[in-house]
Structure 1
């Protein structure tokens, strides 16, 4: 069945927001060539069909099969290798969304196992969630792209997660977004790509450098320098092996004063020059 009064729908200004849509259907053909995934907001990814190897930050080549959901945190370094023809339904969301009026993201911290070690946790898609994803895809395929529809379906998704998954499952799944001082953590994940250095970051948050470092360690479990350098190295590697950016563009994008400094950075983290990494990825 197609939409009634299609012109009324598609000419409404609420349909002009499609590039910012919460839900998207992505289709890929089987390919050895890596596909870049831009993750400006945190994204829940559901494979409707197919199989892929997903790299997300330091978690390399994680097998993702149909019938599973995975989490890609905002501004993370993500790309995929398609093992089969693959159809993905993705849902992006902002950090402050809650499961319902009685249960928020912050509550999940109380349900993490002691000494939990995250390893790109995926969850099985249970029957009700599968029905939900199937309906959303059908509506999107029919052209139902109203921003209000996306907002309502996002709320429904989180209510379904709240109802059909244990709090322990949700805590381990959303672990990368959790931490002491979630507002601080969210600000860091949103802005770390645009900050020059740690003193600049601290100044933007109206904190002393020592206070910033302390709060960072509490939120992320490691030093600011180590975490930011690791994220930077992952993104540089991605751009070298997946993107078509020139070495000059990569040098500029990541704040290096010359390609020589980019080369020094790559040799430190990967024991290869930028060109060697690029040749390896071709």
Structure 2
């Protein structure tokens, strides 16, 4: 039986055990491992280890996660719809791993039925020596770097899924922490340092604390002066840090992020063009022009592109 077949079998087993639950001597249900997963990580406000299954045409989205996420595409293929105005149309093939940093808006649709494993990754979990191999500019380089999944890593990922139904609720967090550490150790030893540094480049650049604070707080406001107040940083210092960290002014960065937010609302909501325009204090005519100029399609064409 192949690794992917074992992963598929684990999916069926997990669903069966989730439906049945676990019985005490009195016949009452204990929370399942899946229940514990949800409870533990809701409390921590972190994304859990998660199996993601998509039918052809369905969209995988990461928007505003509180942690960066490492994805393992175990089956199927994805086509990138949007990621920071870059990589549009790029295909992610079966047997690939890729990394989406905290605060990044990422959308991709399944070209065929797809199965992924996603797990949270924090900066402190990465080897500090990777910084010396980091690309010269992490802000202007593509945030999506793809590596092939090595056989041992695929086996480890599948074993994580196989074991989930058997993990006690009180041990889930510990189990997950150890397993993610093992995956990162395997990645460290099975790929060249330059490859790993490119994969995790968004977590290895300059002013990382500032970068994370910006990405976690900018959605609360779309004005530079308001972010300055939230972060307790004078406007002049804020703009200097933006240029050091993102290689652009704060105003330029906010303009780009607003485009991403608009595209998200087009792709992932049913808001009308008037409602989206009102939300971002634009006229409908200007919004339609923005779609054509920045995304190369009308609003209707963009929405149709996600249902192919």
Q: TM-score range by the shorter chain?
A: 0.7 to 0.9
User: Residues 204 and 123 from structure 1, CA distance in 2 versus in 1: closer, same or farther, beyond 3 angstroms?
Assistant: same
Q: Structure 1 residue aligned with 2:153, among 90, 104, 129?
A: 129
Aligned-CA RMSD value: 3.3
Q: Structure 1 residue aligned with 2:241, among 193, 212, 215?
A: 215
Q: Does 1:10 align with 2:35?
A: no
Residue segments in structure 1 that go unaligned for 5+ positions in a row: none
User: Residues 87 and 62 from structure 1, CA distance in 2 versus in 1: closer, same or farther, beyond 3 angstroms?
Assistant: same
Task: State the distance in 2 between where 1:130 and 1:280 align.
Answer: 31
Q: Structure 2 residue aligned with 1:85, among 113, 116, 132?
A: 113
Task: State the distance in 2 between where 1:11 and 1:266 align.
Answer: 45
Task: State the distance in 2 between where 1:44 and 1:110 align.
Answer: 21
Question: Does structure 1 conserve the Cα–Cα contact (< 8 Å) formed by 2:70 and 2:99?
Answer: yes
Corresponding residue of 2:130: 108
Task: State the distance in 1 between where 2:41 and 2:23 align.
Answer: 16
Task: State the distance in 1 between where 2:210 and 2:290 align.
Answer: 28
Task: State the distance in 2 between where 1:275 and 1:30 align.
Answer: 20
The count of aligned residue pairs is 273
Corresponding residue of 2:264: 238
Task: State the distance in 2 between where 1:66 and 1:127 align.
Answer: 13
Question: Does structure 2 conserve the Cα–Cα contact (< 8 Å) formed by 1:49 and 1:86?
Answer: yes
Question: Does structure 1 conserve the Cα–Cα contact (< 8 Å) formed by 2:224 and 2:254?
Answer: no
Counterpart secondary structure, 1:27: strand
Task: State the distance in 1 between where 2:249 and 2:231 align.
Answer: 17
Counterpart secondary structure, 1:45: strand
**TM-score (norm. length: structure 2):** 0.74
Corresponding residue of 2:229: 203
Counterpart secondary structure, 1:60: coil
Corresponding residue of 1:158: 184
User: Residues 276 and 123 from structure 1, CA distance in 2 versus in 1: closer, same or farther, beyond 3 angstroms?
Assistant: closer
User: Residues 165 and 272 from structure 1, CA distance in 2 versus in 1: closer, same or farther, beyond 3 angstroms?
Assistant: closer
Counterpart secondary structure, 1:179: coil
User: Residues 245 and 157 from structure 1, CA distance in 2 versus in 1: closer, same or farther, beyond 3 angstroms?
Assistant: farther
1:235-258 per-position Cα deviation (integer Å, ceiling 9, x unaligned): 2123213422344653465x4276
Question: Does structure 1 conserve the Cα–Cα contact (< 8 Å) formed by 2:153 and 2:186?
Answer: yes
Residue segments in structure 2 that go unaligned for 5+ positions in a row: 1-12, 25-29
Q: Structure 2 residue aligned with 1:182, among 188, 198, 208?
A: 208
Question: Does structure 2 conserve the Cα–Cα contact (< 8 Å) formed by 1:109 and 1:171?
Answer: yes
Question: Does structure 2 conserve the Cα–Cα contact (< 8 Å) formed by 1:24 and 1:91?
Answer: yes
Task: State the distance in 1 between where 2:191 and 2:296 align.
Answer: 43
Give, in angstroms, the shift of residue 164 of structure 1: 2.3
Question: Does structure 2 conserve the Cα–Cα contact (< 8 Å) formed by 1:217 and 1:224?
Answer: yes
**TM-score (norm. length: structure 1):** 0.80
Give, in angstroms, the shift of residue 86 of structure 1: 0.6
User: Residues 38 and 203 from structure 1, CA distance in 2 versus in 1: closer, same or farther, beyond 3 angstroms?
Assistant: closer
1:151-177 per-position Cα deviation (integer Å, ceiling 9, x unaligned): 222222222222322221111111223
Counterpart secondary structure, 1:196: coil
Task: State the distance in 2 between where 1:69 and 1:216 align.
Answer: 29
Q: Does 1:118 align with 2:118?
A: no
